[in-house]
Chain A
Amino acid sequence: MPDLSRLDPLKPILPWLLLALGLVAPFALSSYDLNLLARFMAMGILALGLVLIWGHGGILSLGQGVFFGLGGYAIAIHMKLADLPQGQIPDFMLWSGRESLPLWWEPFTSPAFTIAAILIVPTLAGALFSWAVFHRRVGGTYFALITQALALAFSTLIISRQDVTGGFNGLTDFTSVFGFGLSSPGTGPVLYWVTLAILCVAFIGLRWLLASRFGILLRAARDGENRVRFLGYSPTPFKVVAFAIAAMLAGIGGALFTLHAGVVSPALIGVVPSIEMVVWVAIGGRYSLAGAIVGALLVNFARDAVSSAFPELWLYLMGALFIFVVTLLPQGLAGLAKGKAA
């Protein structure tokens, strides 16, 4: 095992501290706050993926909302179908004048298919998309702009296909998932533990990945792509695999978020939400896995507190955060914790 302390600018105590807090939370928080925390932890799973591609791969994606949405809509479609009496179609389809279920909704009645879709669809989409751009050696700023266009196209498409996606309002009003009633008192904590477990697995897995040869080559490609080529490696597969993993984590995060929030809609996955995801990681620390989780929790709790009282203020604050953090704290809070604010 190589030395990880140089990798992660944070003291090794922080992950343990986070884990301890995560274990105590269900016994200390009200069910409302626990639900919020669980939502933001699901977003933390997505943030971990951004550390992999942006911090260690130098790949800035402004379209993670797309993969978040793919996971979220997959579970939402399953829950919509699970609530339906035999032979009926969801109410929003009736309102838009549809007579029957669209063909691609059908397989989502199966829980196994749904879970497979959550894991595979975003991963495959991320792999194909990033390969199409990276294998022609297009990267950097161009890639960021293309991902933003992807986020716009995806959210516009969902809004305009109201009859099969629920349009601007998205999908909501779920009653149960895999047989558990969402409103019954025991379900919330169970979902919370599942989210915490997945977050831990993602954290440990990425920590291992970043320390492995794969991580070393990814960072090498970030710092000198052509040098890596001269050393006999093609950077493309490394970048594509990293992007696919980040897309998968985003998809899982999206599915869990949808379970906790009880809604998935274009407003959560478009251009602005996608770039907000980057700000969580920028604030927490783009090189630090634990930092990204802290960033996702901090920004979202702050957002919850500020925007409920002053919705306009939040956008000013977020704009200022972007300017301030990127200019003065490129390593985010993790850099501060290390005492090396650049």
Chain B
Amino acid sequence: MDALFLNQLFNGASLASLYLLAALGLALSFGLMRVINMAHGEMLMLGGYLAWMTLLVVPGALGIILAIPVAFIGAAAMGGLIQSTLIRRLSARPLDTLLATWGVSLILQQGARDLFGAIGVEVRAPEWLSGSFTLAGITLPSARLFIILIAALVLGALALLLLKTRIGLLVRAVNQDRMMASAVGVGVRRVDFTVFCLGSGVAGLAGVMLALLGPVTPNVGQSYIIPAFLVVVMGGLGSIVGTTASAIILGLFAALAQIFVDVSVAQMLLLVFVILFIQVRPQGVVAVKTRQLDA
């Protein structure tokens, strides 16, 4: 039981890392524009396929390292395309944005099915990622350790970007008060676009990690995106700290629940947990204090 518990704790940490990578982009753009891109799960899928294609060209250990920037840039470009053609036009109607981007998601999934087949493609993890460490009687697969490491790095880089650079300053300004930022000359639309590309790129990165864990299928994004939506619901508006905290809570909850019940019940419990959490803190884990009534 003890070993099982520790094992699931570790699995929960790697699950939380995936949720976090998938949810960061959603949370950032939701904080800025109050819209959710339902095709965000397909950015994960795109990242997975890009990783697979990179490994076809450059096999071996170098391939995986190379796949990370390729997937990031590819997914960021796709995200930018969706934002500039569709989301920007609809951003005044958040719920309609949600539906329209769902349409994009359907088209992208079917496109992947036609291009790569419905079965999915396998990414062979290199030697140094397919082994495992044994620590205090539990086995830690290297691939999962790698995922946790990458998530921590991405989070650190994002925090530095937001806190220490000029673009980060602009993002925080628009996040706090869009009208005012626009009035003092911040290019609000460019900030939107940049954040959207960045968030989609991070999701593409998450796709590379998924490719290490299992086959890349046309609907690989779907199984991770709904928990990622719940992470956004629980996290609080556009807060990186809140998103991180809620990703860790939900990742651990999902993994630890699986000690006692099977996966499907754990999924139901996850939703019940989020609804109960809303009863206590409807504003999310981290909320900016404000006197605004209608944000």
Contact = CB atoms under 8 A, between A and B. Distances in A.
Interface of A: 58, 60, 129, 132-133, 136-138, 140-142, 144-146, 148-150, 152-154, 156-157, 159-161, 224, 226, 271, 275, 278-279, 282, 312, 315-316, 318-323, 326-327, 330
Nearest to A158: B264
A128 to B, nearest CB: 10
Chain B binding surface SS class: helix
Interface stretch (B102-110, B127-135, B148-156, B188-196): B102-110
Closest 6 A-B residue pairs measured CB to CB? A322-B103, A319-B106, A160-B264, A319-B107, A136-B282, A319-B103
A282 to B, nearest CB: 7
Contacts of A138: 233, 278, 282
5 contacts: A60-B98, A141-B35, A144-B36, A144-B95, A322-B102
A153 B232 CA distance: 17
B96 A145 contact: no
A312 to B, nearest CB: 6
A282 B270 CA distance: 30
Interface of B: 30, 34-36, 86, 89-90, 93-96, 98-100, 102-107, 109-110, 113-114, 222, 226-227, 229-230, 232-233, 262-265, 267-268, 270-271, 274-275, 278-279, 282, 293-294
A140 B96 CA distance: 11
Contacts, number: 125
A136 B229 contact: no
A330 B34 CA distance: 19
Contacts of A319: 102-107, 110
A141 B95 contact: yes
B184 to A, nearest CB: 28
A332 to B, nearest CB: 12
Contact of B103 (A136, A142, A153, A320): A320
A110 B232 CA distance: 44
Contacts of A271: 222, 226
A323 B82 CA distance: 11
Contact of A149 (B86, B99, B274, B293): B274
